[in-house]
Structure 1
Amino acid sequence: MYEVVILNDGVETIINAVSPSPEAPRLSSGTIKQGINTIDSFAFEIYPNNIGYSKINTLTTLVEITNKITNEKEFRGRVLLPTPKMDSSGKLYTNVICESELGYLNDSTTRYGEYHDISVSDFLKVMLDNHNSMVAADKRFELGIVQITGKLYRFLDYEKTFAAIKDKLLDRLGGELRVRWQDGKRYLDYLIKIGEKSETEIRLSKNLKTIEQERDPTSIIPRLVPLGAKLEDSDERTTIKSVNNGKDYIDDPEAIAEFGLSQDCIVWDDVNVPSILLTKGKERQKEINRIKKKHKLEALDLSIIGLDFNSFKVGNEHPVINPIMNINEYIRITEKTTQIHNPQSSSMMIGDKFEDIKQYNLNNNKTAKILETVRGQINTTVDVVGNVSTELNNTVEVVNNTVEVLASTNQTVAALNAAVIDINKALQENTNKTLELAKITNEITENLEVTNQRVDKLKIRVNMGG
């Protein structure tokens, strides 16, 4: 399904072919890891009998992986780290780690600059133009679609271009990067969100193999102390006491009831007005006091065999349904791991979602009820199995008794068979003796006839006076 090609100075070499021929080059293993706003990776093992074994060069060898079913490029990048190895049996092979094209942005560094009232698109172009001036043509990016808008005030320092994009744009404004090829050029898009909403279900008893749910409440602050700017000539800070009934803190009753009382502070250095500080504190506490929820799952990609329309792609949202765990919602794929020799089984990380404390409690209660229902069904099933077991035991006893009767009957039949054989032997002997007697009788009869003939002749002679 996956064809893997390496390129050196534009010369292609297939190292994993999609072919039934035993002579076709193949990798012993290969794993693609993809994510959002991350540098994707491809790791594989290659043996000396592969035509590309001696053509793997650090940073200069390019790698492309094509899905031959969809004809899409699943990975483009370069060799990052080849590691020759020998196993315990003496076999030689090389373990190779590759990075995707976003890794090219680590080949350049930004230059110091101060930018006032600059658009997001122009600021990203500044960094890409600087990157392109430092790298070879095959590592350059064109500015693509930019959906994030607004004016910026930013400083640039001396750091890797990818780190600068992440810090100055992604971490502060959100949004997601996408590398896109069009007309032979590589574009870097800066989108609000990549992917699409898919109707392909990930459902228990259909294609869901395993699922793990993590709900992380550790960032919740049941009691928040908002602090503003420092007071003049003092280290003491502005508080909300004067506008909050003498209390310098804000409580979240639902969080306290669920997780107990704990306290933390958040500082706003630019806020001097207590009422503004109170508003900011309430907004931040509401934002923070949500449960971060994510899932890790393994699912079968049934699109490979034509049973589903869409395959699983990073960024897409899919309906995930598991009634046992009270999961029935659209969840987004943020990470995906694919084995190129076993592509139907995909391991995926489902991205962070948030739920408030009330929803957290409701979900816990629903899950508890579902588990109680399942437990009752299991107990009922155990009872049924117990009854079936008792009936089976009774049946076994009947069968055992029947076996004993059959054994006794078999002995009787065997004895009768022996008696019949004896009778048949006696009848055969009697028949033989009867045949002998019949023969003797016939002989006597014949002798009597001869004798009678002779007597008749003598009578005739006597009567004639002879």
Structure 2
Amino acid sequence: MYQITIKNNNEETIINALSTDIEAPRLLSGSIKHGINTIDNFTFNIAFNNPGYNKLNALTTLVEVLNIKNNTLEFKGRVLIPTENMSSDGGIIKSVTCESELGYLMDSSTVYGEYHNISVRDFLKVIIDNHNSQVSEDKKFQVGIVTVIDNNDSLYRYLGYVKTFDAIKDKLIDRLGGELKIRYEDGIRYLDYLSSIGELKNTEIRVAKNLQTIEQEKDPTSIISRLIPLGNKLEDSEERLTIESVNNGIKYIDDIAAIGEFGVIVDSVTWDNVTDSSNLLRKGQEYLKENNRIKKKYKVTALDLSTIGLDFDSFEVGNSYPVINPLMSINENLRVIEKTIDIYNPQSSSLSIGDKFEDIKAYQLGIVKANRNIQIINDNLNTTIATVATVSTEVNNTVEVVKNTNEILTNTNETLADLTGTISNINQSLQDNINKTLELANTITNINKSLQDNINKTLGLENTTSNIQNTLNNTNEKLEKLKRRVMLEVY
């Protein structure tokens, strides 16, 4: 499914070919890992006899993984670290780690600058232009589509001397959100900065269909059930503004639902720019409402049935899919933030699902629903067990009937055996009678032949007697004539 090519300057070498030829080059193994706002990687093992074995150079050898099925590039980047090793049996291989083209942003550094009233797109362009000024042509980017905005669309940022990729993460992504995506158009490499990549798909990840394993983690460690809001420092003091004056003399706010579920968990949050107690109370209440949600993480192993034509969509990073597992009370659209592909088993994809959040009430309802589902499953199991017991009894009865039937069949077979013997004896007697009849027929035939011979001989004798009689008659006639002549004295 994947053809893998490496490039050194203008020289291309295929190191994994899709061919039935036993001599075609192939990797020993390989996996691709995609993620959001991360530098993707491709790792593989290559044998000593592969034509590309000695052509894998760190940071300079380019690597492309082409998905032959849909003619798209699954990975494009460069060799990062080739490691050669020998096993105990003397086999020599290389383990190679490659990084995607986002890694080029680690080859440059930002320079000091202070930027006021600048848009998100313009600030990103400052960073990318600086990158392009430091790298070769093959590592340059053009700023593409930017849909991330600041509330005021007017940033105030400083830049220091850090790697370009780290600067984009810190100054833009971590503060404004958004996701990076490399896009090619007319041979130009664009870097898009989007609010969100991907879309909602209809292909389900479902138990008994394509879901193999799922791991769900619910993390309540960020919950604060009793919050102490703190404002700015009071004059000439390290003491800070609190909410006691507007909260019945109490300096904290309770989240009753969270306390009921997790007990009292106390923490404080400081707002240095808040100088009014009422505003501080409001800020604290808003923070509790936003913060006190359960973080859910999932790790899924699912079969990508699109590779064998049984599903329309494949699993792609950024897309969301309906994930359904009634046993764990999961039925929601979940977004893939990471995907690992085995190049020799592309149908088996390991997926990581991004953080989801639910409030305390939903968390409690989820537990109740899960318990109810477990009870339903137990009831179904009990019903199934009873059904199996009934079926088992019926099977036992059936076995008894079959046993009796076998006895009848055995007796019938014995009777048939006796009858077969009798028929065989009758057949033998008939055959003896037939043989005797044939012998008698031969005897009669011989007698008939003898009689015919005698008849023929008799007929021959009659013919001879007739001839003699004729001769005698002729002789008598001649004698009679002679007698008359003598009497008449005619000579």
Q: Distance in 1 between matches of 2:203 and 2:430?
A: 85
Equivalent residue, structure 2, for 1:48: 48
Q: Distance in 1 between matches of 2:321 and 2:421?
A: 78
Q: Distance in 2 between matches of 1:25 and 1:324?
A: 45
**TM-score, L = length of structure 1:** 0.86
Look up the equivalent residue of 2:240 and give its one-letter code. R
- 1:243 partnered with 2:246: yes
> Which one has the largest radius of gyration?
2
Equivalent residue, structure 2, for 1:133: 133
Q: Distance in 1 between matches of 2:206 and 2:431?
A: 80
**1:416 CA displacement:** 9.2
Equivalent residue, structure 2, for 1:59: 59
**1:419 CA displacement:** 10
Equivalent residue, structure 1, for 2:112: 112
Equivalent residue, structure 2, for 1:318: 321
- 1:23 partnered with 2:26: no
Look up the equivalent residue of 1:315 and give its one-letter code. G
- Show the 5 A alignment for 1:184-263: 184-263=187-266
Give the 3-state SS of the residue equivalent to 1:366 in structure 2: helix
1:271 to 258, 271, 274: 274
Equivalent residue, structure 1, for 2:461: none
Q: Distance in 2 between matches of 1:403 and 1:307?
A: 47
- 1:142 partnered with 2:145: no
Equivalent residue, structure 2, for 1:9: 9
**1:94 CA displacement:** 0.6
**TM-score, L = length of structure 2:** 0.82
Equivalent residue, structure 2, for 1:88: 88
Cα RMSD after superposing both structures: 2.7
- 1:178 partnered with 2:181: yes
Give the 3-state SS of the residue equivalent to 1:344 in structure 2: strand
**1:367 CA displacement:** 2.0
Cα deviation 1:282-316 (Å, max 9, x = unaligned): 11111111111122112222222223222111001
Give the 3-state SS of the residue equivalent to 1:308 in structure 2: coil
Q: Distance in 1 between matches of 2:419 and 2:147?
A: 99
Identity of aligned residues (%): 62
Give the 3-state SS of the residue equivalent to 1:43 in structure 2: strand
Equivalent residue, structure 2, for 1:437: none
Give the 3-state SS of the residue equivalent to 2:19 in structure 1: coil
For structure 2, which runs of at least 5 residues remain unmatched after alignment? 433-491
- Contact 2:223–2:265 (8 Å) recurs in 1: no
**1:406 CA displacement:** 6.4
Look up the equivalent residue of 1:377 and give its one-letter code. N
Q: Distance in 1 between matches of 2:43 and 2:311?
A: 28
- 1:76 partnered with 2:76: yes
- 1:169 partnered with 2:172: yes
Q: Distance in 1 between matches of 2:429 and 2:344?
A: 79
Look up the equivalent residue of 2:379 and give its one-letter code. G
**1:414 CA displacement:** 7.6
Q: Distance in 1 between matches of 2:10 and 2:160?
A: 35
**1:218 CA displacement:** 1.4
Give the 3-state SS of the residue equivalent to 1:242 in structure 2: helix
Give the 3-state SS of the residue equivalent to 1:343 in structure 2: strand
Q: How many residue pairs end up in the alignment?
A: 436
Cα deviation 1:40-90 (Å, max 9, x = unaligned): 100001112211111111111011111111111111111111111222322
**1:26 CA displacement:** 1.2
